[in-house]
Each structure stands twice: as C-alpha cells, then as structure tokens.
Amino acid sequence: MNKPVLLIVDDDPQVLAAVRRDLRSRYRENYTVMSAASGEEALNAIRELKSRGDSLAMVVCDQRMPGMMGSEVLAKSRPVYPLARRVLLTAYSDIDAAVKAINEAHLDHYLSKPWEPPEERLFPAVDDLLDAWQAESLPEAKGLRLVGHQWSPQSHAIKEFLASNLIPYRWLEVTHDADARALLDAAGVGADELPALFFDDGTPVLRNPDPRQVAERLGKPMTAAFDVYDLAIVGAGPAGLAAAVYGASEGLRTILLDRHAPGGQAGTSSRIENYLGFPAGVSGSELTRRAISQAQRLGAEFLVPLEVTGMSIDGGYKRLTLADGRQIVSRALLASSGMSYREHPAPGIAEHTGAGVYYGAATTEAAEFRDRRVLVVGGGNSAGQGAMYLARFAKEVEIVVRRDSLRETMSQYLIEQIEKTPNIHLRPRTEIARVEGEGHVERVVFLSLDDGSTQSEETDALFIFIGTRPRSEWLPAEVLRDAKGFVLTGRDMMAADGYARTWKEQRDPLILETSVPGVFAAGDLRAGAMNRVASAVGEGSMVVRLAHEYLALT
C-alpha cells in the first residue's frame, strides 16, 4: 500500500521547494510528500488520489495564490478527504485570513512565514496534526470491524466504548452493508450473536461482547501493577487526567480508573472553542488523546473499564472496591468521577434508549443520521456542541428547550454559531411528552409550555443533554455532600452540618480535601465547581500539590 500523502500547495517556486525540503527531511520514511503550484492543480491531485484509493494525511496551502485562495482550496478538499489535516501558510499580514479560515474551511492550523527554525516552528505542529490524523484514520479494509444493527442498544454500547476510548474501528450495518453479510457468513455468526467484532490479526470474532471483553481482547491492562499507590484517581475526566499527568510527573505512584472511558463529558464534545491555546478549537476526543498519552508516558497507570463501587478507610489507607470484587489500596485518593446525564422521564424514552434515544452520544452516532431529522434536548454547552456536530450530517436539527431562549444556559460563541447554521432550529418553551416507535424512534409528541397543547411529529432520533447528577454514590457516608449529592471540600465542608462529627484532625482541611483526610474531590463532582474544562484541569493539578502536603503529614 502506498504511503499516506502530505500535499504542499504554493505558487511561489522557492517557498514550495522550501516546504517540500523541510517536510521530506523529517517525514519521508512514513509519508509521500507531493506538491502543486496552484489551487486547481492541487484539487485535481486530490481527486486523483481519491480515485486510486490513496490516503491523504495533510494539505499545507499558501493563502495568497492567483485564481484560488488557499482557504478556498482547503474548504473544497474537505468533502473529498474529511479527516485530512488542513494547514494554511500565511504571511504575518494574513493572520486575519487565517482566523476566518478556521471558521469557514475548518482549518486545523496556520503557519506564519518564515517558519525557521523548522525544529521549533514547523515540526511540533505537524507532529501533533499527524498524530491526530493517525488516531482517526483507518484503512477501509483493515483494523477492527464492528457488525451490528443500527437500532441495537448492544451495538450502540460497543460503538460508544470504542469511540470513547479512541480506538479506531469500522462500523458495518448488517441490513445495509454488503461487506457485513459476507463477514458474518464467513465466520458463521448468527443474527442472535450480534454485535460481532472482527479483528485483522486472525483472532476469533467476539460475539455480542461487553466492553470489558473488548478491552481484554485489545490488550488493555485490567490489573493494577502494585499493591499500594501514592495517589489513586477515580474518574478520568479533565480533572482526573490533569491529576494523573502531574502526579506521575512529580514522582507519585499514580493509578487512574474509569468505569467507561477517558475524557468524561468533555471527551464527547465535538469541538471546544474556548480552551486556552487552541485558536482553531479542539475536539474533546483530541484533548483526551493528548492527555492520556501524556499521563501514561510519564508513568501513570490507566485501567478501563473498571467501576469503583465503594471506598473504605483502613488505618489511613484508602481501599477501593471494584465491581468485580477486587481491591486497590492507596495512601491518597482523588474523587473526580464527575456527573452523568439525568434520564429523561417521558414515556417511551427508556424503551428506545440506544435505539434512537442517545445520551450525549452525538459524535458516535451522527453519521448514521445523514439526511434525517434529529432532536437535541437541552440548552447547555454540551447540547450546543452536539447540535453543531449533528448539523454536519442531519438534514434538520431541532433544539428543544423549556426556556424562552439559549442565552441563560449557553456560551455566546455557540449561540452565534447556531444562529448562522441554516439546518439548526430552536424550539423554545417545549417539552418532550412521549416517544413512540416500533423497535426504534419514529415519532415524538411535543408539549407546549405556553398553552399545554400537544403535537406529534415524525423524527429519527433524540440526543439528550439535560441536567446532570453527581456520581458520588460510591463514596462512604463519612464523605460529606450537599443536598444534591455534590461533594463538599475545604471551607464549604467546614461550614456543613456534620463537620465537627466527622473531622477529627488537629489541622484544618486542605482546600480541596473532603471530610475524610487524604480524600480529595475535583471537577464537576465537587460542590461549587465551575463546570468548565479549564477549571477542572486546574483543580486536578492542585490536588497533586495538596496530596504531597497530606502525605508529608502522615
């Protein structure tokens, strides 16, 4: 198979030669570096690559070219190779054009001329972009192949597990894809054994597996390497990931556990536009991929999917009980298990969950609803990001909210993007009264909060992003919580009923410490949290310094 292609486009022969030289010096072993002297020549080359079945990893295109501007070339290349990374090459005077291209051409990065030295100003950016492309790209005929029914909750669960854990796979719908039937017949897999997961290394097919079986087959570690840890982290959202990075880098024996996948709710966001240092925005999965790679490179252990069901104190040690009965012991503990979406109470929702009703799964299921009508239920940032991603595929996306507008619950940048997206519509002052369908969602009954009237309409799916509840049920009663179940820490905990009864230390609790010494809380689980990725990362980082203070006292 040919190497993936890096395509450079510039009408200036000297610049073209310089970029080609620098990229070949570093990437020629793994990539083929091609060049084009105009936008039209570049688009012809891209179409020819597609017809040959070759992979295009990146397009680096100059902005100011006669006939066709670079941002237009990048925008036109996107439908042909949607996963290829797009980089705009600009002069300092064209920075405004680059920022505009971020929105219009979905630009991944821009480089200013000159980029000398390339070791500092070119290669780090290209390395990150190619790593991201490698993580998402998968040859059509290779890798993991998951065969199942679109309206199967079991199939949805495996898709969610693979996608959330950043494992590339190819989805084959059994009723529509000819390759699916050929695979099933060859392996002798029956209709009652779906979903089925096929591997390209000759190992036996997994029939109707659960996520743990998939993780074990893929070689994911499921057993702790040590008897005792300095810091155990429960929940791999932004707070937990930050604590794992800093804990491991500062010499603490660190283990990170999650019941499902890294990233938490932030990991499912299709695009986070306001996170520091990413002017073009960053997907939750990409931010998660970088963080988990960084934590593991620094020495943190990561075990998934392992659910923590309880915690007890044994002579100052924190003893975690897992769902399978095993235990993990640590000297300090961070509870960062975050929140889960509340189940929608409308009749018909529970029966159709995984079969047209999805909780926060927009990035996993969006492609299956191309040219269909879908609903997004909820008005927060997660709902807005989900709606924007779904709009790339669905014919119509309708956001259903109880309020008059989105302004009290959603960031302004998202509201503006939604208003500019023609296939997204807002349905205010409305509730979902009932969901109907045979085997999958077919109709929804809306309830008007203005006059109490109901209206039944056909729709294909609901993506639910309504309010959340904290995942704190695994913590013992000694860990004080507020009335909603959020964990109290520091001064907030000192003011709570029960503080004098539970806190027996001669010192005051540390800032993010709970009512149990050496047990900390951070991120969305903590009472008073800011519910932002950046604040969660900050809290997770702080916990490592606080854990050092606590360990020095014991």
Mean pLDDT split into 10-residue runs, the chain, 554 residues: 88 93 95 96 91 86 91 89 90 72 77 86 91 75 82 96 90 87 85 91 88 93 95 98 98 97 87 86 90 96 96 95 96 96 94 95 90 96 93 97 95 93 97 97 98 97 91 96 96 91 93 97 95 94 98 92
Write down the pLDDT at residue 375. 98
DSSP state of 487: B
Whole-model pTM? Answer: 0.80
Closest by CA position to 336, among listed 545, 529, 534: 529
Residue 132 and residue 15 in one domain: yes
Q: Give the CATH number, domain containing residue 159.
A: 3.40.30.10
Residue 324 and residue 206 in one domain: no
Domain count, the chain: 4
Residue 9 and residue 79 in one domain: yes
Q: How far is CA 357 from its chain centroid? A: 19
In sequence order, the β-bridge partners of residue 110 are 88
Residue 68 and residue 170 in one domain: no
Residue 457 and residue 491 in one domain: no
Q: Residue 298: inside a domain, yes or no?
A: yes
Write down the pLDDT at residue 139. 52
Domain limit, last residue, from 120, 136, 152: 136
Residue 171 and residue 255 in one domain: no
Residue 94 and residue 60 in one domain: yes
| Domain that includes residue 374, residue range | 350-466
Q: Residue 461: inside a domain, yes or no?
A: yes
Residues 272/282, Cβ–Cβ less than 8 Å: yes
Residue 484 and residue 459 in one domain: no
Cα separation values, 83 from 77, 78, 213, 464, Å: 10, 8, 29, 27
By the 10 Å C-beta count (0-12 exposed, 13-18 middle, 19+ buried), 268 is classed as buried
Residue 113 and residue 20 in one domain: yes
Structure tokens at 284: 């939750």
Residues in the chain: 554
Domain limit, last residue, from 102, 136, 170: 136
Domain limit, last residue, from 182, 217, 252: 217
Q: Residue 345: inside a domain, yes or no?
A: no
Q: Residue 223: inside a domain, yes or no?
A: no
Q: Residue 344: inside a domain, yes or no?
A: no
Residue 335 and residue 476 in one domain: yes
Beta strands in 336-492 (DSSP E): 339-341, 357-359, 373-377, 396-400, 424-427, 430-436, 443-448, 454-458, 461-464, 468-470
Residues 6+ apart with CB under 8 A from 296: 302
Write down the pLDDT at residue 1. 46
Residue 319 and residue 372 in one domain: no
Write down the pLDDT at residue 378. 95
Q: Residue 124: inside a domain, yes or no?
A: yes
Q: Residue 419: inside a domain, yes or no?
A: yes
The CA dihedral of 84, 90, 96, 100, to the nearest 10 degrees, is -20
Q: Give the CATH number, domain containing residue 10.
A: 3.40.50.2300
Residue 9 and residue 120 in one domain: yes
Q: Give the CATH number, domain containing residue 285.
A: 3.50.50.60
Residues 6+ apart with CB under 8 A from 124: none
- Give the three-class secondary structure for 112: strand
Write down the pLDDT at residue 138. 55
Cα-flanking dihedrals φ and ψ of residue 457, to 5°? -140, 150
Cα separation values, 522 from 215, 296, 408, 538, Å: 27, 20, 25, 9
Structure tokens at 398: 């309708």
